[in-house]
Structure 1
């Protein structure tokens, strides 16, 4: 039997009384707790929400108890893995945050190339444990990204063209459903739920652990960025378009438009200079990568060429300081087709007109293994797109760039309108038109997701996300538990 809240919470000023959940072994944090402000903070410093309770779980059983407690007490539910999503969905106002951040365990089976990862782990945790064996799976481009959020939305990263998206390497999960039941989902067990979890985001439950397929990668890879002056951006993009069209799938690239960040590996005279930067990572033998990358490295005269043999685990964390916790972020994003000249012209016109030196745009080359998986095989949509671009306004607390750079992202996004081909759900912000969620999947995949949502969460208890509403839900979501 659940122990109810011992006294009422004053919702107006958040003066909370002691709360207990029977059998919960983790930490319960409310507004009276010394760590409340730290615990409610997420990566995006622009998010300022005050949950009624943060239930910091230490295992799957805690997550079960927290979900049941939330449903029994009609509480809004947010789910926190790494807390890295730009929309801030990991924290809610006046509800319960089911916080997995203490659950960061990773277990590796090198012989069978498998890894089991808890739901609060970060990608740096995974790389730390797998790279001693020369193994990895696709895991984003920033090491403090959460495993859960990136995986459930699809999983774009350096290795995707060779080894597929993160969801293409997901073998099974343990998930707490809206009924408070702990299920294992895989191709054989609850396959409909497993299909939906591979791209459908946090709509279907609290995933407490993941099982991944690993691949031979590293520990040394050929990787690094090449920088050209922003005035060369048009010519660089035209060359890049032709270069990546038939590039080997081992080559992952991300193009970054903005000021050169003040990283130790970048000479001081280039810090804050507007540049186009092509980041590269070759998921194959270093000597092969050197041959593949030679034409790109020789194009015009780069300001800086940092490509070289480097530890994969270090390369995965190289950009961490450029997207620090607690800074303010506002994103707009879309998928794009191959880079036609008129599209390149639009990108060049807008990419360098932000106000904050920390704002940037980033364009990910897809194709390869991403597009070889048939549309609808997983819930990740728009697999045939060539690129995903994200327009990222970034400013530190106290700086006054917010309004200007938010407007910059919106202008840039509007200018890309006729080229849009869907969107990566993990790049959606917190103020999107709900129609963009359907755009992230396409009609057929979205309608199937609605069916799965209706089966596993008919009351839309898990709606603090890029929401897929269950069929027949004509009222606002409630947290009440089914009986």
Structure 2
């Protein structure tokens, strides 16, 4: 065992993977970042999460918290510190079938959640990849395949169980610890470790799924028309698109999902998308919901997808904004652009109801570059579109800093987030790089000394 992990308490013996362990290679990194932590702890229960926090603080070790490891900032691993990997806390339990209420531990993956809910005819809109972990997505937002009909994942959370920096286990809901409950729905990274959620699913077995590939017009009209239709379409329709360069032009690959149990209902909602550009491929199927986030997605995260990512939220993508987004793909920066539909049920929620305040925008635009392209290339490609954005989303920002914080948590929301991060974590054990402007592999820092009592 490495010197940095001396005096491991008996309660954690056998649960820590260190560099000499054959499992270390598959646990050390995230999906986007290669890291070298001193150890990776795999707690089996909440008591071991509490013990891990106390141990790391006593040893003055940086802490990184991992549910799935897809986080683009690399914050779920670190160099030289302790990673608390929640993957063994992965149970899914339906609590009340009629209301759709279920309890899920933070280390579960959304593919497993979809599989567990399917026999009950229940679904939860939860990102777009089955390998994503529950904890990170369900504390940041959650823009899923049914986002316009069901809202963000955080909008369906009814209660959480959180281990705070002083080792206290707290249950928070609308009536008990309401400030903490507000915080973890959108800004959970600086509050503590959420170990479990109670979430209200919706009834749905099958969905209409359309796959299209369209030539994107260089003047931006294809992007404009995609966003314009989604903004006013029936809320049963949600869609995501990837815009990428093809020589001097661009292609748009679209996945449109209709919360309907029949193709008869799904096809008319998809049909207007066939008119936004020259269609190269198209098919529409009725599929079981778990097909969208299958267990086939599950894989280790070993730093295999390096890149730099940022994003912006847009109320509308008019001519100028749509042209800027398209030029980010076709210009010298050669960014890859993703578009995600919002609006619908997302915008039914009051801006002050959660720590995700962006309740009037209709489109999320995500921009990425990959090696050999650098972050500077992304900045150059994205600059024009960024100036037209109205907010940002924490889960698609790979360079967290105070400027990103201001976009993600604007105005009074940001002031409240800062205030509550200080209340629940006064020593900055889980303080995100969004505040410090000095991102580390973990995005967190640990300070010396014993755990302190929580301030009210």
Both proteins in one fold, TM over 0.5: yes
Q: Does 1:30 align with 2:18?
A: yes
Q: What is aligned with 1:214?
A: 201
2:103 to 111, 116, 124: 116
Question: For residues 45-194 of structure 1, what are the structure 2 equivalents within 5 Å?
Answer: 47-109=33-95, 110-194=97-181
2:357 to 377, 381, 386: 381
RMSD: 2.8
Alpha-carbon contact 2:164-2:424 (below 8 Å) kept: yes
The unaligned stretches of length 5 or more in structure 1 are 1-5, 10-15, 261-272, 395-400, 470-475
Alpha-carbon contact 2:333-2:380 (below 8 Å) kept: no
Deviation at 1:320, TM superposition (A): 5.0
Alpha-carbon contact 2:125-2:150 (below 8 Å) kept: yes
Q: Does 1:410 align with 2:379?
A: yes
Alpha-carbon contact 2:221-2:322 (below 8 Å) kept: no
SS of the aligned residue for 1:79 comes to strand
**Which whole-Å CA distance do the structure 1 matches of 2:200 and 2:275 have between them?**
36
**1:370-413 Cα distance to aligned partner (Å, 9 max, x none):** 1111111001122212211111224xxxxxx33x2544322122
Deviation at 1:467, TM superposition (A): 4.2
The unaligned stretches of length 5 or more in structure 2 are 438-444
**1:268-324 Cα distance to aligned partner (Å, 9 max, x none):** xxxxx9511222001134222222222223555410012221222112349959998
Runs of 4+ in 1 over 6 A off after TM superposition: 321-324
**Which whole-Å CA distance do the structure 2 matches of 1:378 and 1:410 have between them?**
30
Question: For residues 335-354 of structure 1, what are the structure 2 equivalents within 5 Å?
Answer: 335-353=313-331
**Which whole-Å CA distance do the structure 2 matches of 1:226 and 1:101 have between them?**
35
SS of the aligned residue for 1:328 comes to coil
Q: What is aligned with 2:288?
A: 311
Alpha-carbon contact 1:77-1:479 (below 8 Å) kept: no
Alpha-carbon contact 2:211-2:256 (below 8 Å) kept: yes
**Which whole-Å CA distance do the structure 2 matches of 1:436 and 1:419 have between them?**
15
Question: For residues 212-251 of structure 1, what are the structure 2 equivalents within 5 Å?
Answer: 212-218=199-205, 220-231=206-217, 234-251=220-237
Cα distance change, pair 375–319 in 1 and its aligned pair in 2 (3 A): farther
The number of equivalent residue pairs is 442
**1:389-445 Cα distance to aligned partner (Å, 9 max, x none):** 111224xxxxxx33x254432212212132021100111113x43221132011111
Alpha-carbon contact 1:25-1:58 (below 8 Å) kept: no
Q: What is aligned with 1:372?
A: 348
Alpha-carbon contact 1:78-1:96 (below 8 Å) kept: yes
